[in-house]
Amino acid sequence: MESQKPTYDFLYSNYAWPEPGTERECPYSGIPLQLNEQRPGYNGKPWTCPKCIWYFSEEELNDPAAFKGKDCPHTLEQKAEAIGKK
């Protein structure tokens, strides 16, 4: 039987991870972002907005101009749904 030793190295996210204790704000809603734990098997981005339910990378957050004047895509979906339910 082959060893079941997990090979975690390549399972880590490819995104750059911020230093622990770093604080960021959602470029859409302005509320503090949640820093996700960097752990094996998690391939997502480091930041989550609990309000927008949206993920952000450090790279994206370093370019706030890209978000200027835009609504969170999740918020837009909710708005569209709300209009559809009227």
| Residue 2 CB, nearest approach to Zn ion (Å) | 45
Residue 28 binding Zn ion, by CB under 5 A:
yes
- The answer to the question of residue 26 lying near Zn ion (CB under 5 A) is yes
Nearer to Zn ion, 12 or 75 (CB): 75
Contacts of 23 (CB under 8 A, 6+ apart): 32, 33
Positive or negative, the CA dihedral 16, 24, 56, 49 is positive
Does 61 engage in binding with Zn ion (CB under 5 A)?
Answer: no
Shortest spacing between CB 54 and Zn ion, in angstroms: 6
Q: Name the CA dihedral angle for 48, 35, 33, 67, rounded to a multiple of 10 degrees.
A: -60
- Give the binding site for Zn ion (CB under 5 A): 26, 28-29, 49, 51-52
